[in-house]
Amino acid sequence: MSVPVWSVTVTRTELTQAELVITNDPNNGTGIHIAEGGIIEPEFPMRAAYAPESHYMSGKLPLAASVDAGGLGLVLELHAASAAALTAVKGVLIAALGQWRFAISTSIAGQVTSYESICPVVASFGTVDSGMVRAHMARCSVTIPVNPPTGA
């Protein structure tokens, strides 16, 4: 029985670099992998516009509604052969997520969903412990604001 693979692909057109493909395999060659349970699919709330309140009619009268932006959550683990190399891997991730706008897609059990990011984001590397420092590892979480996929 094979382990299902999931991945996240970030386009880096602003950086004139190839796509950054991050999988759940720690040996994927990027120095970054998705932690177990590390993809939180976005929820897209409904945004509604209402008519002004009326003294003569009770309740709210909706005028328009559309699906709003959501947040694609990721928990990523970074690893390298040295502290300097780990800093470089962090830099790759920070640059990819710091683009003004970029396309990002998830692939879960072969089903690809593509999103467009809304704005740059900053990965939060959080706490550091001695074991991770000795192993040249880091863990980060990030929520990427995205528009709903086309057709949603």
Distance (Å, whole) CA 107 – CA 39? 10
pLDDT of residue 99: 94
Does 97 fall in a domain? yes
Does 63 fall in a domain? no
pLDDT of residue 73: 96
70: buried, middle or exposed (CB in 10 Å: 19+, 13-18, 0-12)?
buried
pLDDT of residue 96: 96
pLDDT of residue 1: 41
Backbone φ and ψ of 43, nearest 5°: -105, 140
CB 80 within 8 A of CB 86: yes
Q: Could you give the percent of the chain with pLDDT greater than 70?
A: 96
Query: Helix or strand or coil: residue 99?
Result: coil
Does 59 fall in a domain? no
Q: Which domain range does residue 37 map to? A: 6-43+68-146
Question: In angstroms, what is the C-alpha Rg of the chain?
Answer: 19
Does 30 fall in a domain? yes
CATH of residue 18's domain is 2.40.30.210
Structural domain total, the chain? 1
Does 83 fall in a domain? yes
9: buried, middle or exposed (CB in 10 Å: 19+, 13-18, 0-12)?
middle
C-alpha angle 92-85-117 in degrees, rounded to nearest 5: 15
Does 74 fall in a domain? yes
pLDDT of residue 56: 84
pLDDT of residue 127: 87
> In the structure encoding, which two tokens stand for residue 102, read together?
């970029």
Backbone φ and ψ of 115, nearest 5°: -130, 165
User: How high does pLDDT run on average in the chain?
Assistant: 91
Does 61 fall in a domain? no
All residue ranges of the chain with pLDDT < 50 are 1
Question: In Å, how far from its chain's centre is CA 76?
Answer: 10
pTM above 0.95, yes or no: no
pLDDT, one tens digit per residue, over 84-114 is 999 999 999 999 999 998 999 999 988 999 9
36: buried, middle or exposed (CB in 10 Å: 19+, 13-18, 0-12)?
exposed
Does 52 fall in a domain? no
Strand partners, 12: 17
